[in-house]
Amino acid sequence: MRTLQFPLSVFFFSFFAMAQIPSSLNLMPVPAKVQVGSGQLVVDQSFTAVSTSQRDARLDGGIARFLDQVSRQTGMQLNGQSADASNATLVIRAENAGRKVQELGEDESYTLEITPSRATLTAPNALGALHGLQTFLQLIEPTPAGFAVPAITIEDQPRFAWRGLLIDVSRHFIPIEVLKRNLDGMAAVKMNVLHWHLSDDEGFRVESKRFPKLQELGSEGQYYTQSEIRDFVAYARDRGIRVVPEFDMPGHSRSWMAGYPELASVPGSYRAGRIAGADTVMDPTRDGTYKFLDKFIGEMAGLFPDAYFHIGGDEVTNKPWDSNPKIQEFIRAHGMKNNRDLQAYFNQRLQKIVSKHGKIMMGWDEVLHPDLPKTVLVESWRGQDSLAEAARQGHRGLLSYGYYLDLMWPAARHYAVDPMTMTMTKPGAAAALSTEEQKRILGGEACMWSEFVTPETIESRIWPRLAAIAERFWSPQEIRDNQSMYRRLEEVSWRLGWLGLNGVSKYESNYATMLHRLAGSHDIAALRVLADVVEPTKDYTRTEVFPQPPVKSTPLNRLADAARPESTVARQFAELVETYLQSGYKDSAAEAQIRAWLVKWRDNDANLKAVLDRSFLLAEDMPLSEDLATLATAGLEALDNIGKNQPLPDAWRTAQSAVVDRSMKPRANLLVMVAPPIQKLVEATASSH
């Protein structure tokens, strides 16, 4: 800890290793240590930033982007005057440039000191300086005296070294420019690994020069060329982000078989694409499979510079192996007990190949087996227990369970999941690990599986919730206050809009564009009232509607695709109701706001009907709009009754509950999220007299 010119007692009092962050600050993730000073540093057109570090193209590029971002955030062209360490507004010093290929565990710490006259950013490694620049950007606010950052001292470093986001580009192909925008967003919230899920049953997305039929027959023309991949990896490195490729095997591999059916466990012809069909699994008993994988992994090891190589290993279905007598005979002949032993055999051979090509193998938690080499990193998607078990067995690991963005959970639910504990309040299996074993847990990854997203909608599913997960991975474990998180998430959200992330900003996003398309009209006011209070169904319930994940011809252009995963209106309405009820029905300001919302919702259906009638895409939403009006009417009746001496009969409450129940069951893949707080108002009528 650096020496500050404060008496020690003041230092400890004000330099909080923070359980809370002051509400004046919109920092996300919350830094490890913050000390707020007095006064502010003005950010005007004369703002300059210089590096006193050794020349480093990555840091110089980061500073250039930072200045561009300052300009965008303030709407001011900066003068761009030259400056040196003696007169620059912000002086940046990184002691070293970092590894050429970014490594796990490089020092990402930084210290940012801002006084009313200047700012200094120091870091042992350029990575820390890049993070510090993002912190500075989050501090810029308009003030009566102009744009400014507060006088402050921040000493910051991540809690976990591995802070990842998986993006599945197989189920739906996601173009490079969309991925790049998401890298910008990840850098803004200090995430450092993009886990690129590049192959699955539906599509093989990488150009292979040794096995060109992989992309020619496995991608329906949608893949990344090797030069695009090199450019993308460099773009990520510039932002302090590693790119870890995943080629899922032996399961989830139908797209490989389109060009190379000899890899399959069941002879036949295979097609890639979003088509219904049983899972396809590689044949681990043939030497040819390993010869193929040796050449393929050798080629990919040269294309992807990161030290880690993800081989998938999840959800290997039994049927293809069970149905091939040769494979079952191989199991018996080698003294194996079952298919799981066969997968372990496959993984051992695979690990040798991956290692021969200079990479560290990683896989999903199904790869865990007593015979698995301990160097293999295990990524747990099925629960914290398997992560703890992996750590106990000597593996390093990551947690993904609890961070699946495709499940449409609210940010708070992801935020409560911690790699080291079951939830923030319940100790999990990891809590029982020794210190040595706990050290093997390196962090976690959020996952954006793409069965139900398109390039148009993917960002609205990643953002802004990912910022809450980023905070879980970066900030001290004590940072867990949901109210503070949501307050800052809202602020981070519109700021991310400057990066051009679709759907991030409530004010300017593809949300409105999609609503216009649904309505076929410029007038989306009434549709938006409904859209603002619904959420897509949770977990995998959407698959119940589409019995298979959507096939190629299934458009994802419904209200369920436009609606945000978490309704801000519903969350804030629920808070209002809570405030009102806890005040003993005395908070008249809260009551007035509740009433205003309810009146709006009660009257909306009449305005929306004509819009819903006109569009085939919206007809399915008619019952939701009607129920919103019914719920609102019930809420208003409850408000009129609560605290008064006019009991409403039990039969009335029972009738309202039926509407609430219906509203929280999936219809048109949507839930009406204001139903539970309205239910609370309805229930309050039972105790008010």
Q: Which chain residues interact with ligand ACM by CB under 6 A?
A: 314-315, 364, 381
Query: Alpha-carbon dihedral of residues 472, 477, 483, 487, nearest 10 degrees?
Result: -50
The Cα 595–Cα 683 span in angstroms is 17
Smallest distance from ligand ACM to CB 89, Å: 46
Q: What burial class does residue 102 get, using C-beta atoms within 10 Å of its C-beta: 0-12 exposed, 13-18 middle, 19+ buried?
A: buried
What is the amino acid identity at position 143?
T
* Residue 111 or 400 with smaller CB distance to ligand ACM: 400
- For 554-563, letters b (16+ CB in 10 Å) and e give eebebbbbbb
Smallest distance from ligand ACM to CB 248, Å: 8
The Cα 156–Cα 21 span in angstroms is 13
* Residue 315 or 626 with smaller CB distance to ligand ACM: 315
Smallest distance from ligand ACM to CB 452, Å: 14
* Helix-, strand-, coil-residue percentages of the chain, each rounded to 5: 45, 15, 40
The Cα 463–Cα 565 span in angstroms is 9
The Cα 431–Cα 594 span in angstroms is 42
Smallest distance from ligand ACM to CB 449, Å: 7
The Cα 422–Cα 424 span in angstroms is 7
The Cα 220–Cα 551 span in angstroms is 13
The Cα 501–Cα 98 span in angstroms is 28
Smallest distance from ligand ACM to CB 379, Å: 8
Smallest distance from ligand ACM to CB 317, Å: 12
Active site residue 103: no
Q: Which two tokens stand for residue 286?
A: 């043939």
* Residue 181 or 195 with smaller CB distance to ligand ACM: 195
* Residue 314 or 620 with smaller CB distance to ligand ACM: 314
Torsions phi, psi for 622 (to 5 deg) = -55, -50
Smallest distance from ligand ACM to CB 315, Å: 5
* Residue 447 or 501 with smaller CB distance to ligand ACM: 447
The Cα 172–Cα 251 span in angstroms is 18
Give the three-state DSSP class for 535. Answer: strand
* Residue 346 or 364 with smaller CB distance to ligand ACM: 364
| Residue nearest ligand ACM, Cβ-based | 314
The Cα 118–Cα 617 span in angstroms is 56
Smallest distance from ligand ACM to CB 383, Å: 12
Smallest distance from ligand ACM to CB 555, Å: 24
* Residue 315 or 481 with smaller CB distance to ligand ACM: 315
- For 531-553, letters b (16+ CB in 10 Å) and e give bbbbbbbeeeebeeeeeebbeee
* Residue 238 or 315 with smaller CB distance to ligand ACM: 315
The Cα 271–Cα 258 span in angstroms is 5
* Residue 309 or 381 with smaller CB distance to ligand ACM: 381
> Residue 421 has what DSSP assignment?
B
Q: What is the rounded radius of gyration, in angstroms, for the C-alpha atoms of the chain?
A: 27
Catalytic residue among 315, 620, 626, 637: 315
The Cα 68–Cα 66 span in angstroms is 5
- Which residues carry out catalysis? 315
